[in-house]
Amino acid sequence: MTTTADPQTLVETLTENIGRVIVGKQDVIELLLISLLSKGHVLIEDVPGVGKTMLARSLAVTTGCEFRRLQFTPDLLPSDVTGVSIFNQKVEEFQFRAGPIISQVVLADEINRATPKTQSALLEAMGERQVTVEGVTYRLPEPFMVLATQNPIEYEGTFPLPEAQLDRFFMRVSLGYPEPSEEVSIMDRREQVDPIDELSSTCEPSEVLRLQSITDRVYVDSLVKQYIVDLSNGTRNHGDATLGVSPRASINLMKGSKAMAMLRGRDYVVPDDVKEIALPVMAHRVLLTASARMRGVRQSAVVGEVLDSVPVPGAEGGRSQG
């Protein structure tokens, strides 16, 4: 395990280490780390077999964080997620048995296969970083991150995530199929051993907390904040959207832009940082009208049109004068 005082170098090391397992997906790995540094959660939506679960495991191993995996099924109960109090006859008192959500990196696999009641068991954990069981509140360890996966092509036996749940996710990403040469490389790497079994951590959870603290201190000019709000308002006033993004999306876009700036070696945000992460942060929060869905309009297209129409502030995101 190696650590470094240089945050940019440390992030590059984390990216490279995860890339030993996840081949050819540098942009997705970067988005995942931006979410981690922004204390956000990620919804990974993609077809089976492209490495969604492996991505989550690789992140946990690389950062030295405790990892728990929870398979969501229709018969899963909320207590299976949060934990339950069980009476211990030896000591004659109830004792809390923590559920898998009480960990640092939690994989909620196939989240849309569980009932809405069970899905909602994640809301408090994701929003407030705590769980309440039978009136007792338990704080979650830090860092804490939920990585949820869902298959976009299987609808039978699934329960689509409601808007309130989707809004808890910092961003939505998709791995996509690898290029043919990358797929050959994946086969070569896994011909005898699985790379995840040989992966080692490159930092400790305390280093992740340090990076999060550095990210929090990145400067955002008032012009850039106004630009973010203008983008959010653009989705709310778009003709194909019956529901635009929430103020939480504006906050997440600001936080993600800070992380992007830090990754780029800057201590201030420029509009390009905002534009670079706008799609994964905003698209999944846009609720399309029935007419737009019938015409095959995609959420990403709405956000793209807003990005094209909203003027970029004249200042380059630097500190305002005076």
Nearest Cα to Cα of residue 258 among 231, 232, 228, 282:
228
Q: pTM for the full model?
A: 0.88
Same domain for 132 and 163, yes or no, is yes
Find all residues with CB under 8 Å of 274, minimum gap 6, and list them.
Answer: 224, 227, 228, 231, 253, 257
Tens digits of per-residue pLDDT, 240-277?
Answer: 999 999 999 999 999 999 999 999 999 999 999 999 99
> Does pLDDT of 308 surpass 70?
yes
**In-domain check, residue 89:** no
CA 303 – CA 310 distance, rounded (Å): 11
User: Where would I find the H helices in the chain?
Assistant: 7-18, 26-37, 52-63, 78-82, 116-119, 123-128, 163-166, 180-189, 195-198, 205-216, 222-236, 247-263, 271-282, 290-294, 299-309
One domain for residues 162 and 305: no
* 42 and 151 in a common domain: yes
Element (H, E) at 96: strand 93-98
Residues 251 and 233 in one domain: yes
Residues 268 and 155 in one domain: no
Percent of the chain scored above 70 by pLDDT? 94
Mean pLDDT of 67-74: 92
pLDDT 10s digits, 209-235: 999 999 999 999 999 999 999 999 999
In a domain, 1, yes or no: no
Does residue 16 sit in the same domain as residue 41?
Answer: yes
Given 210, 239, 270, which residue is the final one in a domain?
210
Q: Say if residue 202 is in the same domain as residue 68.
A: yes
Total of domains in the chain: 2
Residues 37 and 116 occupy one common structural domain: yes
Q: Which of 311, 292, 310 is nearest to 300 (CA)?
A: 292
- Any domain includes 322: no
Question: In terms of residue numbers, what domain contains 225?
Answer: 219-309
CATH of the domain at 118: 3.40.50.300
Q: Is residue 49 part of a domain?
A: yes
User: Would you say residue 263 lies in a domain?
Assistant: yes
- 3-state SS, residue 178: coil
Contacts for 264 with CB less than 8 Å, ≥ 6 apart: 273
**DSSP state string for 108-148:** EETGGGS-HHHHGGGHHHHHHSEEEETTEEEEPPSS-EEEE
| Selection from 63, 45, 43, 31 nearest residue 257 by Cα | 31
Residues 195 and 241 in one domain: no
Region 180-199: what's the mean pLDDT?
83
Does residue 317 fall inside a structural domain? no
**Do 40 and 59 lie in a common domain?**
yes
Q: Are 141 and 105 in contact (CB under 8 A)?
A: no
- Is 298 within the bounds of a domain? yes
For 89-131, how does the pLDDT look when each residue is reduced to its tens digit (9 = 90+)? 777 777 888 889 999 999 999 998 888 888 888 888 998 999 9
* 45 and 176 part of one domain: yes
Confidence of residue 4 (pLDDT cuts 50, 70, 90): low
CATH number of the domain at 286, please: 1.10.8.80
Which of 191, 210, 229 marks a domain boundary? 210
> Do the Cβ atoms of 33 and 42 come closer than 8 Å?
no
The answer to whether residue 281 is domain-embedded is yes
SS3 category, 219: strand
**Domain final position from 179, 210, 241:** 210
Distance CA 103, CA 165 (A): 20
Residue 52 has pLDDT above 90, yes or no: no
**Are residues 191 and 227 located together in one domain of the fold?**
no
